[in-house]
Amino acid sequence: MLTVVALALWYGRITNVSYVLCLALGVVVLLDPWAVLGPGFWLSFGAVAVILYVSVGRARAPDQSAGSRWRVALRNAGLTQYAVTLGLVPFTVLLFGQASLVSPIANAVAIPLVSFLVTPLALAGSVLPAPLSGWCLGFAHFLIEEMAQLLGWMSSWQLAVWTVPIPAWWMFVLALFGTLWMLAPRGWPARYMGLFAWLPLLLNTASHPRPGEMWVTAFDVGQGMALLVETEKHRLLYDTGPVYSPESDGGNRVILPYLHARGINRLDGMMISHSDNDHSGGALSILKEVEVAQLSSSLPLDHPIVNSGPQHSRCEAGQAWEWDGALFEVLHPSPDSYESSKWKPNARSCTLKITLGEYAILLPGDIEARQEAELVANQADNLRADILLAPHHGSGTSSTVPFLRAVDPQYALFQVGYRNRYRHPKQEVYDRYGALGISRLRSDDTGAISLRFGQQMHVSDYRSEYARYWYGR
């Protein structure tokens, strides 16, 4: 894209900005048809479009003295930075749900430093003989290190990033129109009025269920569990997904982007069913970025998550509370299970039942056949639920027939990874659900699953609502 624009500038052929952008678009799409799906594509085109919009066809200062030309150049550079920063705000908010407030300062430092010092020093160091080459490259390296420290310090500022829910399409279009109005040529009437077109974007707030409703989102975290439960004024996260790598987990890759996109910066509760990494792997990432009022788990008291979190309590059968008309009940494990070392983490999984009106959902973690039998024996009358999160991802050691008959769900959710090494759900277990007339949804096929409870129950999945041909839909 930049090559096309540079050639147009070189040959003096920029007569219409739209023609140049369309030509660049054609070249980029021809080389990489998938480029339109990347945020970098839209940010690059947006930045170039803004630069062309504020520069092409506008009056320029005539050539003057060297000092005056430097002042004009600095003024134009400042105008370009201002225009790009302002012009990309609607795009960054739409794509990421946030906009950097320190980027103008960071760019004002980084761009001149790299352009006028680091790059010339690196080029000189590549051709000069020793020891001059070493001095040049060493000084360039020093400058990069210092710049990285400065930028890292700036990024740690409390107000470094402005976070807002992902806007609706009309908010984006209106903000884009307001941006073009504000960046119009000098003399354009009431350019400040463009700010009013930003108001829906600036005042956008997080959505939440209406009174008497409850939303449940089962995330597509691969081979793991993570569900967000929302009532009118409260939010609970049940499990946090797996660890993918030392730098990546279900928290920072899936859950946090979703929370940021929704404008959610606080959780009233987080429940970690047990210590297995596919359930607790993203907890530390979430605790670093989101305020969590209460942590409940079956984790050992010396576990890093317990030590890093807020007020912690063990989940124990008999615990119950009510949020906005929804009843939360912990059915398992028993309090005395914590006194024995014979219990495996799976067997001690926090089992949570949530009831709103005539609908209920049961979240059993990774309990297995023995724990299912205990629940059927002791709490059979309280197991009935419309939605069942398949215990232990549909493993061969769970989902017994007596348990499924006691729960009698309409839908079963299988949170599993595509072609996972455990081969969950086991085919015989999956068929067992079908034989009992239970509708089955698996996250490796549907993506994230959304449940809406109120006067009626509504079940939907991401890949059906946002169908793409690569989903096979």
Task: Looking at the structure, tell me whether residues 172 and 250 fall in a common domain.
Answer: no
What percent of the chain has pLDDT above 90? 64
Q: Is residue 270 part of a domain?
A: yes
136 & 8 share domain: yes
Asked whether residue 18 falls in the same domain as residue 62, the answer is yes
The answer on 229 and 191 residing in a single domain is: no
220 lies in a domain?
A: yes
- Residue 65 is predicted with a pLDDT of 55
Residues 190 and 223 in one domain: no
Residue 9 counted as domain residue: yes
Q: Closest Cα to residue 59, out of 186, 180, 179, 181?
A: 186
Q: Residue 440 domain-assigned?
A: yes
Looking up tokens 């109005």 gives: 181
Mean pLDDT along residues 149-155: 91
CA-angle at 313, arms to 307 and 317, nearest 5°: 145
In this predicted model, what pLDDT tens digit does every residue of 320-353 receive, in sequence order?
999 999 999 999 999 988 988 788 999 999 999 9
Number of domains within the chain: 2
Is residue 471 within 8 Å of 446, Cβ to Cβ?
A: no
Assess whether pLDDT exceeds 70 at residue 66: no
Query: b or e along 44-60 (b: 16 or more beta carbons within 10 Å of the residue's beta carbon)?
Result: bbbbbbbbbbbbeeeee
Where does the pLDDT of residue 210 fall: very low under 50, low under 70, confident under 90, or very high at 90 and above?
very high
Domain stop point among 201, 224, 252: 201
Report how far residue 460's alpha carbon sits from residue 413's, in angstroms, rounded to the nearest whole number: 12
Question: Residue range 239-250: average pLDDT?
Answer: 96
Residues 6+ apart with CB under 8 A from 110: 147, 151
Mean pLDDT of 47-67: 70
**Of 30-44, 48-62, 452-466, the least confident:** 48-62
Q: What percent of the chain has pLDDT over 70?
A: 93
Which CATH number does the domain housing residue 273 bear? 3.60.15.10
Place of tokens 């027939």: 401
- pLDDT, residue 109, reads 87
Q: Which of the pair, 445 or 69, is modelled with greater confidence?
A: 445
Residues 275, 179: one domain? no
Question: Does a structural domain hold residue 37?
Answer: yes
For residue 209, is it within any domain?
no
The whole domain housing 302 covers 214-471
Q: Which domain-ending residue is among 179, 201, 223? A: 201
pLDDT value at residue 11: 57
Number of Cα atoms under 13 Å in the Cβ half of residue 296 = 25
Evaluate if residue 423 carries a pLDDT over 70.
Answer: yes
Q: Are residues 165 and 236 in the same domain?
A: no
- In a shared domain, residues 163 and 298: no
pLDDT of 330:
98
Instruction: Give residue 13's pLDDT.
Output: 58
Residue 72, pLDDT score: 74
107, 161: one domain: yes
128 with 249, same domain: the answer is no
Residues 120 and 147 in one domain: yes
The pLDDT value given to residue 16? 67
Is 208 inside any structural domain?
no
Supply the pTM of this predicted model: 0.85
- The predicted pLDDT at position 103 comes to 86
Average pLDDT score over residue span 267-280: 97
Out of 201, 227, 248, a domain closes at 201
In this predicted structure, the answer to whether residue 7 has a pLDDT above a threshold of 70 is: no
Question: 291 and 171 in one domain?
Answer: no
Higher-confidence position of 244 and 66: 244
More confident residue, 286 or 79: 286
Integer Cα distance of 199 and 418 in angstroms: 42
In this structure, of 55-64, 347-356, 437-446, the range with the lowest mean pLDDT score is: 55-64
Between strands 439-442 and 411-414, the pairing is parallel
Residue 191 has pLDDT above 90, yes or no: no
Q: For residue 338, is it within any domain?
A: yes
